[in-house]
Every structure is written in structure tokens, then in C-alpha cells.
Amino acid sequence: MAESPPGWRASGPILAYAAATFLAFPHPLGDHVVDLGLLFAWLSPFCLLVCLEGLAPARALRRGFLAGLLAHAAILHWISIVTLRYGHAPLVVGAIAPVGLAVYVAAFTAGFAASAAWLASRGLASSFAIAALWVCFEHLRSFVFTGFPWATIGYAQHANPALMGLAPITGVLGLSFATVLGGAALHAAWRARRAGRRPGREALLALGAVAALHVLGLASQQGPREGQGESVRVAVLQGNIDQGVKWSREWFEATLDTYALLTREAALDGAQVVVWPETAVPAAIETSEREVERLSALARETGVALVVGAVGIEPGRPGDPPRVTDSAFLLTPTGEVTDRYDKTQLVPFGEYVPFQDLLG
């Protein structure tokens, strides 16, 4: 990578990367949502590559860690609210939760940065190599130490209908590859312009590949696929129940009434499967015949299959308390509970506290 432009301090590109990464994802602002991912998704990898220009792997590691820490501490600020207000955790846990998770994510940003600098020192840092490397580290982040794939850059393309056509084929990592390929190509073209040259063939090829991926994504959405079966109409409900009152007994009936009303409306609109949100039923329905019968009656009345988020109970070992799970239950249109799925990848500090014995 070429040397950084004279007069640029390291803090400039680092702050630019942190800001671009933060703005690549939706954030609430009053009663509105600020969603600028269509622009800043491309600028996030571009700014990080500017941060790394001319650095040896060791320096790139440190700078990548700092950039990742700033970006993700900002993105994950909500973890402290969840931990303190809703989880009633000690103040120390609420204070360290977003920073601790940001440190975890930043470690992968640092690993990418050092690896990219190593490739650059050997003339191997093409836009395609950079994009592939980024995806490798995002994939590692999805499972190492239980994983935490929050703010994977591909999610920032959720409002890009062309690239979203690739999601059923490639998953979110395919969207990440396309995004970073575009950002890396912009960086290569920008470096060429700074040096007084036209963008090279590799940058143009990468930009062409990004354009081709958009076309492919659009084409994949046109018409039925060969061998496609009968379509199923699925409704996803959002009752907008405040998390601060969701678990109170005073709101229990109101919560269930809200989702029952929405289910009836969805059934009238032709839904065949109705999906309730995560823990929409703030109770362990397996231990409450009343709630099971209530949900079963709703399924029979509407004639739809229900996928209901609720609390699950897993019996513990002799002498141990039962294990509580974040689960989804399937009810058939005849009202039978036929299946249950337990969430396996819990959010650290949001759904479980790492090192709980140490933190108290």
C-alpha cells in the first residue's frame, strides 16, 4: 500500500472509519430511524484501508484494533442499556459490557488489518484478496468463543434490493464480500488518482465485478426458480411492546391480546404461517396449560400455523435448577405444539453474562 498523504494524522482515517462503520447501520433518532447504509457500507472498508496505508503488519494490527474498538463501542452502546435497565445487572457489568464486546470484535478487525498489511508488503493485496480476507475474519467472528456476528458489514446492504437477491444464495457473507470488494476497488482507484494515474485494470475489474453481482442479484429475483414448490404466505408480527414493561404481570394480558389481534388480522389477509417475535410470550408455556390452550385455541380459530417466541424450560441435573432457554414453539393449525427450537447463539451480556461468577 502507498504511503499516507502528507499531513494526514492517523486519527483522521481512524475516526472516519469509526464514523462510517457506525453510520452504515440503522440507528434510532427520536421517532425516526437513520439508515445510511447504501452510502456508508462502501465507505467503511474504504476508510479502514486508508488507515492501513504504508503500515507494517505490527502497526497495522494496533491501528486496526483501535479503529475497530472505536467503531464497535459506538455501535454496541445499547448493550449497557439492555444489561442495566432490563437485565438488572450490577453497574460494573453495564459499564464494561459494550467495551468488552467491542474489544472482542476489534480483535478480528486487528487480525484483518495485520493480514492485509502482510499481503500488501508482498504485492498481493488486490481488491479481491482484501474482500476474501475480510470475509474470512467475519466468518471467524461468527463462532470463535461462541461468536458474536453483530454488525457484519453485509447487513448494511439490507436496503439494497439488487444485492439482497444474493442473500438466499451466498448468505450475509456474500453481501460482505461484494461490499468490501467495492470499498477496496474505490480505495485502489483513489490511490491511483492521488498518484496522478488512471485507475488500474484491477480496480476497474473489481468495480465491474460489483456491478455484475448487482445484476446477478436482480436476475435471481425474476420469475420462479426451476423446481420451486408451492409458495407459503408468512406474516411476521411486531407488537412493539416496550421491553421495560414486557415482563411485568400488569402487561402480560395486554401483550398476548396484542399479538392475538395481529394474528387474526394476518389470517384475514391470507397468511398461512404467523411468526411472533422472540419471547413474545413472556412466560414458560410448557409449564402453563392455560397459556398453551390459549395459543392452541388461537391457532384453531384462525387456521394458521403459529411460530411463537417464548421461554423454554430444560430440566437440570438432579439437585440443579432447570435451565431457562430462549425458544420458539411451533403450533399447527389444529392447535398442537409439535416442535421447539432453542436459541443456541446468545448475545453476551444481553442474554447471558460471561464469567458471571467473576463479575457477580
pLDDT score at 7:
40
Q: How far apart are CA 63 and CA 90, in angstroms?
A: 32
Instruction: Tell me: do 192 and 69 sit in the same domain.
Output: yes
Instruction: Tell me: do 242 and 204 sit in the same domain.
Output: no
Instruction: Tell me: do 25 and 174 sit in the same domain.
Output: yes
Instruction: Tell me: do 178 and 296 sit in the same domain.
Output: no
pLDDT score at 25:
98
CB 41 within 8 A of CB 61: no
Helices (H) and strands (E) in the chain, counts: 13, 8
Instruction: Tell me: do 78 and 102 sit in the same domain.
Output: yes
Instruction: Tell me: do 211 and 264 sit in the same domain.
Output: no
Last residue of a domain, one of 191, 219, 247: 219
Query: Domain span at residue 28?
Result: 11-219
pLDDT score at 226:
59
Whether 2 is covered by a domain: the verdict is: no
What 3-state class would DSSP assign to 325?
strand
Whether 46 is covered by a domain: the verdict is: yes
What 3-state class would DSSP assign to 33?
strand
**Total structural domains in the chain?**
2
Instruction: Tell me: do 130 and 271 sit in the same domain.
Output: no
Whether 229 is covered by a domain: the verdict is: no
pLDDT score at 52:
96
The pTM of this model reads: 0.84
CB 41 within 8 A of CB 210: no
In sequence order, the 6+-apart residues with CB closer than 8 A to the CB of 152 are 138, 141, 142, 172, 173, 176
Instruction: Tell me: do 256 and 215 sit in the same domain.
Output: no
What 3-state class would DSSP assign to 57?
helix
Instruction: Tell me: do 293 and 153 sit in the same domain.
Output: no
- pLDDT tens digits in sequence order for the chain, 360 residues long: 555 554 446 788 999 999 999 999 999 988 899 999 999 999 999 999 999 999 999 999 999 999 999 999 999 998 888 888 777 778 888 888 899 999 999 999 999 999 999 999 999 999 999 999 999 999 999 999 888 999 999 999 999 999 999 999 999 999 999 999 999 999 999 999 988 888 889 999 999 999 999 999 999 887 656 556 788 999 999 998 887 787 778 888 999 999 999 999 999 999 999 999 998 998 888 888 889 999 999 999 999 999 999 999 888 778 778 888 889 999 999 999 999 999 887 776 666 666 665 555
Helices 37-51 and 57-75: crossing angle, nearest 10°?
150
Whether 94 is covered by a domain: the verdict is: yes
Whether 82 is covered by a domain: the verdict is: yes
